Chains A and B, each alone.
Chain A
């Protein structure tokens, strides 16, 4: 494993952080959904998506000299309906405009069904997927199609839920392992989502990490959340909690294919978190990346 890079999920306040601590940010992850206006599925052909020129130009400038990845919010790949080809075409257009994503990730959540949808402002309310062979069969052709269209490595991110589903055919780590074993995609491991699920009655994070094939993990998300109406929410409103750092130091040095550690915060909390605290978070991430590289050097030497 080369030393994983340290980066940020880009949002409209990221330029202020980059101006303050740009030297600490080695990669940026762009959300195509934030760079266009979507006029909906009923829009005339060729008129559904309109790219916003100014935000794209600003991102292009900040991505200069950095690795750039893509992170999608709305493709809803596990939905039992055909792939949204127009959306994929729009992602591809943004990918092309930005010079090509080094990798592209999506969520292992459900956001859209044929006759309904759940609002997905930064993946705040993804619905759980019932993991099993049927879901695998549904995802396979879509993952191949998306990877082929974008021409880069594809990752799927573990989700966060308020309502764990019982009686699933397989648990989420086994599902992610199967996707990796079948060569369909890698894993974007969101460590904070493990905390959210553990706090809300889902699988304990330690057990999840024991079951997950760490060779599948290529990117890790760090983030923070808060308590809301008796539940713990993935609000991206704080720095990474201590317990998530503990998991990161325990597990990440053993992820041999890890290429990136990315911090996510919601832009509306930028002032509350503060630019200095965000810079300190990036410094902590660099220390973690160094620990990963040192562990690997030790393993290689022995």
Chain B
């Protein structure tokens, strides 16, 4: 049960929609996770706490950080589509990659594969993704494998 409790905690923090669903219906947890009655009460209290919205925001800010640094023009060009696209990307990649350039490269390639992006997005993305890939290669030049 400990593992399911931790999994639920992480997934709720990553997804405000899950928090809203749980706040609306306490049965949302059952079927998804195996929890003790106390763990269920703890998670319910957690999503009802004001701090949960802040934790969700901080999660998104932290995951957005490498992309905001490396894809400034692309994200600006996405405009109103940005929020939905980021949610979709984070759903598909629940683990953020620890390497900023690799996380950025992964996002850039994922975005390139999306259909129906505005032409301005494609132009900015191509330029910034090339920059990320060059920076990634450069960052690895003075390194050695250790594990």
Report whether chain A binds chain B: yes
Give the interface of A toward B (CB within 8 A): 33, 36-40, 46-54, 74, 79-81, 86-87, 89-90, 93-94, 110, 112-121, 124-125, 127-128, 130, 134-135, 138, 161-168, 200-201, 228-231, 233
Contacts of A134 in B (CB 8 A): 2
A231/B3 in contact, CB under 8 A: no
**Distance of A163 from chain B, by nearest CB (Å):** 4
Known contacts A117-B94, A162-B55, A167-B42: A37-B2 contact under CB 8 Å: no
Given A37-B139, A93-B146, A166-B45, does the pair A118, B59 have CB atoms closer than 8 Å?
Answer: yes
Q: How far is the CA of A269 from the CA of B21 in the complex (A)?
A: 38
Which A residues touch B98, using CB under 8 A? 33, 38, 40, 74
CA distance A149 to B142 in the complex (A): 27
Q: A54 near B142 (CB under 8 angstroms)?
A: yes
Question: Could you tell me the distance between the alpha carbons of A118 and B57 in the complex, rounded to whole angstroms?
Answer: 12
Asked whether, in the complex, the Cβ of A231 is within 8 Å of the Cβ of B59, the reply is: no
Q: CB distance A53 to B144 under 8 Å?
A: yes
- Contact in complex: B146, A110 (CB < 8 Å): no
B7 and A116 within 8 A (CB): yes
Q: In the complex, how many angstroms separate the beta carbon of A196 from the nearest chain B beta carbon?
A: 11
Contact A200 B51 (CB under 8 A): yes
With beta carbons under 8 angstroms apart, the residue of A79, A115, A119, A166 that contacts B41 is A166
> Which A residue sits closest to B97, measured CB to CB?
A40
Per a CB cutoff under 8 Å, which of B63, B140, B146 touches A119? B63
By a CB distance below 8 angstroms, the chain B residues around A161 are: 51
Known contacts A93-B146, A118-B13; 7 additional CB pairs below 8 A are A39-B99, A50-B140, A50-B145, A52-B143, A110-B6, A113-B6, A119-B59
A-B residue pair count with CB separations less than 8 angstroms: 146
Residues of B near any A CB (own CB < 8 A): 2-3, 5-7, 9-11, 13-14, 38-39, 41-42, 45-46, 49-52, 54-55, 57-59, 62-63, 65, 94-99, 102, 139-140, 142-147
Q: Nearest chain B CB to A266's CB is how many angstroms away?
A: 12
Query: Is the Cβ of B99 less than 8 Å from the Cβ of A117?
Result: no
How far is B90's CA from A119's CA once the two chains are assembled, in angstroms? 12
**Is there an interface contact between B49 and A164, defined as CB atoms closer than 8 Å?**
yes
- B51 near A38 with CB under 8 A, answer no
Cβ-defined contact, A53 with B7, below 8 A: no
Residues from chain A with a CB closer than 8 A to the CB of B62 are: 118-121, 124-125
Residue numbers in A under 8 Å from B57 (CB-CB)? 229
Q: Which 9 A-B pairs have the closest CB atoms?
A: A162-B51, A119-B62, A80-B3, A50-B143, A90-B147, A93-B146, A116-B10, A89-B147, A163-B51
Give Cα distance in the complex from A121 to B147, angstroms. 21
Given B5, B10, B14, B140, which contacts A130 in the complex, CB threshold below 8 Å?
B5
Contact yes or no, A138 B2, CB < 8 A: yes
Query: Which B residues touch A40, using CB under 8 A?
Result: 95, 97-99, 102
> Taking each of A79, A89, A93, A125, which has the highest tally of chain B beta carbons within 10 Å of its own beta carbon?
A125
Residues of B within 8 A of A116 (CB): 7, 10-11, 14, 94-95
